[in-house]
Amino acid sequence: MSKKLLPVTIISGFLGSGKTTLLNHILKNQVGLKTAVLVNEFGEIGIDNDLIIEGSEDMIELNNGCICCSINGELLNTVSKVLERSEKIDYMIVETTGLADPLPVAMTFAAGDLREKVRLDSIITVIDGENFDFEINNTSVAYSQILYGDILLLNKCDLVNEEQLMKVEKFINKIKKEPRILRSTNSEVGLQTIISVGLFETDTFKFDKDKEDVEDNPSDHSSHSHDHSSHSHDHSSHSHDHSSHSHELNNIEGFTSVSYETFEPFSLRKFQYFLDNQISQNVFRAKGILWFMESDRKHIFHLSGKRFSLDDEEWTKEKSNKIVLIGKNLNHQTIKNQLSSCRFSKD
């Protein structure tokens, strides 16, 4: 029976760990499978235009047989929409938001109406080897992501030394008995080690921690998400967080998101000053689309821990600055004032 069911892999992991990079790796290297990838927003996965056969507001078809579907509301509805398609899908991958406990997402597949159609193959948790937080406690989302991960992908191994990696692995072993840990750089790992591995076992899953939440609402993983891009899907203020008991991002273990938008250009020098001297140490993750007076290009901004990147591409829409920052105990007004001060002025 189980072989006739559609296998599903859930990709979990904390903010900035490399989940989207892993998705890109899978999409680029999977062969012979028609895969459906469910994401919070297409812009994150950076699909080359020459790969796209056709696209709509919430679904993109690729010439390698994959489709990408945007989770525009409730996860259950999105999954059902993909399953109703006339074209047969061989595999499904769901990326959760960085602040989501994977358990309620897993329960959507393992204990809901979908269990007669799909089979949860495994939960992959991507772990940031460079910015790993050793203060994780057993009430945190990050703890749950490690505890429920069938495969733990210890990522960014090129950015730290062996001593740090062994320290992280030792910490993981305190949380999870006999964890399956794979090391990676840029989330690159052999697909045969993470796809169709059949590691998820419903019977041995520990539900006690979230039993109440699952019973109350087994398949509502919406609410709002948080991405740090234009309007967001990883960590912004609306969309769809996939954890049924984390309805308010601003109440999840002290994490808050600050969104800022302006249709005036930034000064590159002023924004650099903000990054070097003003940005709060409590900002853990940031994403944005930036417009600088000094450049005709659109700049994609990512910040994870102390590391940030700026990639550029052509503008296809009206120029603007949109940025979302995630962190703990942030002073929203101070950050918005600092970003307002980055606007270009002739003085």
Q: Residue 266: what are its φ and ψ, rounded to 5°?
A: -85, 160
Same domain, 201 and 293: no
**pLDDT tens readout for residues 40-93:** 776 666 666 666 666 677 888 887 778 888 886 678 888 988 998 888 889 999
Same domain, 104 and 174: yes
Residue 261 is predicted with a pLDDT of: 93
Same domain, 33 and 116: yes
Q: Report the CATH number at residue 189.
A: 3.40.50.300
Q: Stretch 126-146: mean pLDDT, rounded?
A: 89
Question: Could you write out the three-class secondary structure of the chain?
Answer: CHHHCEEEEEEEECCCCCHHHHHHHHHHHCCCCCEEEEECCHHHHCCCHHHEEEECCCEEEECCCCEEEECCCCHHHHHHHHHCCCCCCCEEEEECCCCCCHHHHHHHHHCCHHHHCEEEEEEEEEEECCCCCCCCCCCCHHHHHHHCCCEEEEECHHHCCHHHHHHHHHHHHHHCCCCCEEECECCECCHHHCCCCCCCCHHHCCCHHHHHHHHHCCCCCCCCCCCCCCCCCCCCCCCCCCCCCCCCHHHECCEEEEEEEECCCECHHHHHHHHHHHCCCCEEEEEEEECECCCCCEEEEEEECCEEEEEEECCCCCCCEEEEEEEECCCHHHHHHHHHCCECCCC
- Judge whether residue 249 has pLDDT over 60: no
Bigger pLDDT: 248 vs 24 = 24
Residue 230 lies inside a defined structural domain of this protein: no
Q: Report the CATH number at residue 325.
A: 3.30.1220.10
What confidence category does residue 135 fall into, taking pLDDT thresholds of 50, 70 and 90? confident
- What whole-number distance in Å separates Cα of residue 18 and Cα of residue 285? 12
What confidence category does residue 154 fall into, taking pLDDT thresholds of 50, 70 and 90? very high
Same domain, 209 and 68: yes
Same domain, 175 and 284: no
Residue 88 is predicted with a pLDDT of: 84
- Residue 166 belongs to domain spanning: 2-216
Number of domains in the chain: 2
**pLDDT tens readout for residues 2-35:** 457 899 999 999 888 999 899 888 888 877 788 9
Residue 132 is predicted with a pLDDT of: 92
Residue 248 lies inside a defined structural domain of this protein: no
Weakest mean pLDDT among 8-22, 247-261, 302-316:
247-261
Same domain, 198 and 315: no
Residue 230 is predicted with a pLDDT of: 31
- Judge whether residue 248 has pLDDT over 60: no
Residue 174 is predicted with a pLDDT of: 93
**The two structure tokens encoding residue 55:** 């696209």
Domain boundary among 216, 242, 262: 216
- Judge whether residue 255 has pLDDT over 80: no
Same domain, 275 and 325: yes
**pLDDT tens readout for residues 274-307:** 988 899 988 888 888 999 998 888 998 888 777 7
What confidence category does residue 334 fall into, taking pLDDT thresholds of 50, 70 and 90? very high
- Judge whether residue 136 has pLDDT over 60: yes
Residue 216 is predicted with a pLDDT of: 34
Same domain, 162 and 102: yes
Bigger pLDDT: 46 vs 169 = 169
Same domain, 154 and 259: no
Residue 225 lies inside a defined structural domain of this protein: no
Residue 9 is predicted with a pLDDT of: 93
Same domain, 62 and 137: yes
Residue 309 is predicted with a pLDDT of: 79
pTM for the model? 0.67
**pLDDT tens readout for residues 185-242:** 999 998 888 988 888 754 444 433 333 333 333 333 333 333 333 333 333 323 333 3
Cα torsion angle, 25, 26, 31, 35, sign: negative
Hey, which of 105-109, 159-163, 304-308 has the most confident mean pLDDT? 159-163
